[in-house]
Amino acid sequence: MLKLTECPRDAMQGLHDFIPTDVKVNYINQLLTVGFDTIDFGSFVSPKAIPQMKDTAEVLKKLDLKDSKSKLLAIIANERGAKDAFHFEEIDYLGFPFSISETFQQRNTNSSIEESLKRVEAIQNGCLKNNKQLVVYISMAFGNPYGDVWHPDVVTEWAEKLAALDIAKIALSDTVGVSTPENISSLFAQLIPELPNIRFGAHLHTTPDTWEEKVAAAYNNGCIEFDGAIKGFGGCPMAADELTGNMPTEKMVEYFFKNNIETGINRDHFSDSVLFANQIFPV
């Protein structure tokens, strides 16, 4: 069955005006009724860096999980954030952004790629001790705007190193919307057969007119795990194109995966979630 991850954290984190905690709680509780495989609900990072997520722990305490099949994922950027997340048994996954662009990794986590690999290893050890699973997002997986070296073989090299740590999942991430159907196709076609013990996902950023070709490129080459955000809000604030945002979940659910593809989504509850999102995110 296709696995969809809804990412309200990614959609919310770049908004300037602070979203009240109870509004976040109510929205995420609504999403928990839909049938998503996973909800990327918050992050344990510096509140100075991401002030919108400073209330993640408070949000978590108010979530209604008793009747939901969805798992919870929290983003962390270092061991300190992981240790904070370990305190909450409700969290299933920790997500770590691992950029294969040296420039972006320094900007995003204040560490080199090699240092970040050591962080991943330490965090994975902590996950095993604390009954968590680690998802690593290979950011800038499809290229970067900094002139750093990019090639499919570079992606494969780092994916192999990460897979050797026995992590739960690798998500190929299009951080600034530079992916094309061609490089999406080639990477998934190469990595999925080469690393059969690793779950691969697609965290794609897109403009409104390129979403379908990107989803098709990943799905037709073996990817069955997709991240999205209702209304396509969010994405990397460093993207040069202001139209670049998260993959719109409603496009995937209502158009691409609507026929003969099992997603586990309750369409009525999903429609209610889209209406709720209209109250939170700017039109």
pLDDT at 235: 63
pLDDT at 115: 93
pLDDT at 233: 87
How far is the C-alpha of 186 from the C-alpha of 39, rounded, in Å?
28
pLDDT at 241: 45
pLDDT at 240: 45
167 occurs within a structural domain? yes
136 occurs within a structural domain? yes
E strands present in 103-163:
133-139
| Residue 176 contacts residue 244 (beta carbons within 8 Å) | yes
Determine how β-strand 245-246 pairs with β-strand 205-206: antiparallel
79 occurs within a structural domain? yes
Residue 44 identity (one-letter amino acid): F
Give residues with Cβ within 8 angstroms of 263, minimum separation 6.
Answer: 1, 2, 4, 35, 253, 257
| Domains in the chain, number | 1
| 261 Cα distance to chain centroid | 21
Neighbours of 283 (CB within 10 A): 4
Neighbours of 157 (CB within 10 A): 12
231 occurs within a structural domain? yes
Query: Which tokens is 104 given?
Result: 């972006």
The range of the structural domain enclosing residue 37 comes to 3-278
How far is the C-alpha of 267 from the C-alpha of 57, rounded, in Å?
29
Neighbours of 257 (CB within 10 A): 18
| Residue 64 contacts residue 32 (beta carbons within 8 Å) | yes
pLDDT at 243: 55
283 occurs within a structural domain? no
The overall longest dimension of the chain from CA atoms, in Å, is 48
Q: What does the angle CA 91 – CA 69 – CA 12 come to, to the nearest 5 degrees?
A: 55
Asked whether the whole model's pTM tops 0.85, one would answer yes
Look up the CATH number of the domain holding residue 260: 3.20.20.70
pLDDT at 242: 56
Residue segments in the chain with a per-residue pLDDT below the cut of 70: 235-243, 283
